[in-house]
Amino acid sequence: MLDYSMLYPESTVSRRAVSMDGMWNFQLDEKEEGIASGWTEGLPSPDSIPVPASFQDFYTEKDIREYAGDFWYEKDMFIPGEWEGKKVFVRFGCATHRAEVFVNGVKVTEHLGGFLPFSADVTDVVRYNAQNKLVVKVNNELSVTNIPCGTTITLSNGKKMAKPYFDFFNYSGLQRSVYLTAVPQEYIFDITTDYELCGEDAKVSYRIDTTGEHTVLVTLCDAEGNVAASAQGKEGVLDVKNAHLWEVRNAYLYSMMVQITDGAEVIDEYRQEIGIRTVEVKDTSILLNGKPVYLKGFGKHEDSDIIGRGFNIGVMKRDFELMKWIGANSFRTSHYPYSEEIYQMADREGFLIIDEVPAVGLFESLMNFMEASTGKQTAFFEKETTPELLKSHLHALEEMIARDKNHPSVIAWSLLNEPESTSDAAVPYFKEVFDKAHELDVQKRPRTFALVMNAVPGTCKCHQFSDIVALNRYYGWYVKGGHEMMDAREMLIKELEGWKAMNVNKPFIFTEYGADTLASEHKLPSVMWSQEYQEEYLKMTHDVFDSFDFVKGEQVWNFADFQTTEGIMRVNGNKKGIFTRQRQPKDVAYKLKQRWESLPVDFKG
């Protein structure tokens, strides 16, 4: 059990949530002198920077964009006098990749992992009805003991630099919203729900964790605000007559009001939106509410101009509008859990999410993710650092499931992206991670991981753990590209025939396939990197998908062009987007729209 509540900050009769977003003080700590020089009490010569945002792309100096090491944020926070007697927290949507938090010079918490929320209890440290100094020391170095994996090198001038084992820029900082929250001493700590459909009706079982012993009341209201069911007690079942189900691209949300009461008065109150739906895997089908669903959509990134990986409510809105326009119904949160607001929107819009923990880069080689195609056996999990890596991995998994378990949009957990999965040493590691996900999720959602190109029938030792087998495949791009596409097609068919022969009897989905394409390039006949080639590549791939019944989804790589580390394989970033980084369509988007609008929800059902 986590020692902080993962509930999204909301104000209610008993609670207060105050956003701390805005301009913060900011300072790099190249000499790592902050602690010794008393920066915990305040920064000596800070710059001013927005939160939420990645810090990298604001500045014109390359040394800042590429900075690896400690950096500090600072902000004054006024704590209202009427909060005295309550429990007061500072809640970070994330701090990438690790943080230590100080209030009035006192360390209140630390956290490892850059993509999930954490809270610091500051009740006994703050001065009420007064300004208080909040200081956060953040660090963005990469290692193989934390996820995502990478290394940190030192350049000849003594400066550090991040070397990711993954293909996205190492954006960092306070990239999501920060809240000040106040709750009563006895408060609602956690809410967990599960669903069972019984004809026209549904049973919503719930569990409420609180920090006290007073009575818990639960009232479920439908979208019109009418009471649909109610119950008393920390655990129970709500019987919902004529349940209005949450369906793909046709969402319906109930609102679950949870109250702690002493009989006379409400002690604490929290409102949780829920969607009544079930998700399961049966043979080669993914079933939502018992009906087969074919996934159409994307691997995405949180990535946009200027703010990098910072949460931006406008970019989020545009992305959902584009996904609706193109006829998508799902996405994977590659390669880390996204901002909570994105799941809330998916809940409302009826999108299906494969929620991915930041376990990417678990593959050992010099150019890491580039070398996967060579079929090299790397035995990543035999390192002596593996137990520590597993610890961070399990911790992130616990936080992700605790944070996201109540979102109807989340239909599966992705537990790793393109890990080494061909050695014996990978097997016990996978077993622990997959068992943990099963144990933590009351809804027992399907679990998956994205198989890298060398994990094929005969070599992969870990797909046995997946409930849905997810393939990242680049036949026609990294392998047999250009005029060799006809051979790429044969290889893709051959691999799928191989899986078929193994009688895996599970749904297969493609979580990545794509071709880098410059929005500026047209060429007739096509060449790789031209818009024409992206269309040919997708057409070839889709034709193959359509000829295998057990392929139950396609999530193209990537929704939009995104920033990566610079290098000879990337033209100012990865250009596999169906949309540009500015969220305008490449030519292929119109073709994809035609295809996806014509595929029924239960395609191949």
Ligand X SMILES: O=C(O)[C@H]1O[C@@H](Oc2ccc([N+](=O)[O-])cc2)[C@H](O)[C@@H](O)[C@@H]1O
CB of 569 to ligand X, least distance (A): 8
CB of 567 to ligand X, least distance (A): 12
- Which of 217, 370, 442, 540 contacts ligand X by CB under 6 A? 370
Q: Smaller CB distance to ligand X: residue 180 or 452?
A: 452
Piece of 20-28, 205-213, 366-374, 582-590 that binds ligand X (CB under 6 A):
366-374
CB of 218 to ligand X, least distance (A): 41
Exactly one of 74, 269, 364, 418 is catalytic; name it. Answer: 418
**Nearest one of 318, 308, 336, 269 to 55, comparing CA atoms:** 308
Omega within 30 of 0 (cis) for the link into 148: yes
Question: Quick one: DSSP state of residue 126?
Answer: P
Assigned token pair, 590: 């119109």
576 counts as binding ligand X under rule CB under 6 A: yes
Q: Does residue 495 carry a catalytic annotation?
A: no
Assigned token pair, 277: 């739906």
Exactly one of 512, 532, 536, 554 is catalytic; name it. Answer: 512
474 counts as binding ligand X under rule CB under 6 A: yes
* Dist CA 546 CA 288 (whole Å): 21
Q: CA geometry: angle at 404 spanning 238 and 145, to 5°?
A: 145
**For 208, phi and psi rounded to 5 degrees?**
-115, 125
Piece of 80-88, 220-228, 253-261, 370-378 that binds ligand X (CB under 6 A):
370-378
Piece of 148-156, 351-359, 384-392, 472-480 that binds ligand X (CB under 6 A):
472-480
Piece of 188-196, 384-392, 471-479, 518-526 that binds ligand X (CB under 6 A):
471-479
The DSSP bridge partners found for residue 417 are 360, 450
CB of 26 to ligand X, least distance (A): 29
Piece of 104-112, 277-285, 312-320, 365-373 that binds ligand X (CB under 6 A):
365-373
Tell me if residue 425 falls in helix, strand or coil.
coil
CB of 473 to ligand X, least distance (A): 8
* Dist CA 446 CA 426 (whole Å): 20
H or E element, residue 260: strand 254-261
Assigned token pair, 130: 């007064």
- Which residue carries 């929005």 as its tokens? 519
Q: Which residues 407-436 are close enough to bind ligand X by CB under 6 A?
A: 417-418
478 counts as binding ligand X under rule CB under 6 A: yes
* Dist CA 549 CA 497 (whole Å): 11
* Dist CA 344 CA 331 (whole Å): 14
CB of 74 to ligand X, least distance (A): 34
Sketch the per residue contact string, 311 through 350, with ligand X: x for CB under 6 A, - otherwise: ------------------------x---------------
Assigned token pair, 299: 């691997």
Q: Smaller CB distance to ligand X: residue 472 or 531?
A: 472
Are the CB atoms for 512 and 505 separated by under 8 Å? no
Tell me if residue 402 falls in helix, strand or coil.
helix
Q: Does residue 484 carry a catalytic annotation?
A: no
369 counts as binding ligand X under rule CB under 6 A: yes
What residues are labeled active site?
418, 512
State the residues that interact with ligand X by CB under 6 A: 166-167, 335, 369-370, 372-373, 417-418, 452-453, 472, 474, 478, 512, 557, 574, 576
